[in-house]
Amino acid sequence: RFAYVNGRYVRHADAAVHIDDRGFVFADSVYEVCQIQQGYIVDLTRHLDRLDRSLGELRMRPPMPRAALVAIMREVLRRNRVVNGMVYLQVTRGVARRDHVFPLPDVRPTLVVTAKSLNPAVNAAKYAAGIKAATAPDNRWGRVDIKTVGLLPNVLARQQAKEAGAQEAIFVDADGHVTEGGATNLWIVDKAGKLVTRPADHAILRGITRTTLMDVAARIGIEVEERRFTVAEMLEAREVFVTGATTICLPVVSIDGTTIANGHPGMTAQKIREAFFAVAE
Active site residues: 147
Closer of 36 and 205 to ligand PDD (Cβ): 205
| Secondary structure (3-state) at 126 | helix
Which parts of 139-158 interact with ligand PDD (CB under 6 A)? 154
From 29, 80, 90, 184, residue interacting with ligand PDD (rule: CB under 6 A): 184
Shortest distance in whole angstroms from residue 246 CB to ligand PDD? 5
| One residue of 183, 234, 252, 269 binding ligand PDD per CB under 6 A | 183
Task: Determine the interface stretch with ligand PDD among 54-62, 96-104, 155-163, 183-191 (rule: CB under 6 A).
Answer: 183-191
Report residue 24: phi and psi, to 5°.
-70, -45
Q: Which of residues 192-211 bind ligand PDD (CB under 6 A)?
A: 205, 207-210
Smallest gap from residue 205 Cβ to ligand PDD (A): 4
Distance in Å, CB of 227 to ligand PDD, minimum:
18
First-residue to last-residue Cα distance in the chain: 27
Cβ atoms of 249 and 195 within 8 Å: the answer is: no
| Position among 6, 84, 160, 246 found at the interface with ligand PDD (CB under 6 A) | 246
Q: Where are the alpha helices (DSSP H) in 28-132?
A: 44-57, 66-79, 120-129
Query: Which of 64, 200 has the CB closer to ligand PDD?
Result: 200
- 43 in the Ramachandran plot: left (φ > 0), alpha (ψ -120 to 50) or beta? left
Beta strands at 168-172 and 258-259: parallel, antiparallel or unpaired: unpaired
H-assigned helices in the chain: 22-26, 44-57, 66-79, 120-129, 152-163, 208-219, 231-235, 267-280
Chain residues that interact with ligand PDD, rule: CB under 6 A: 33, 154, 180, 183-185, 205, 207-210, 243-246
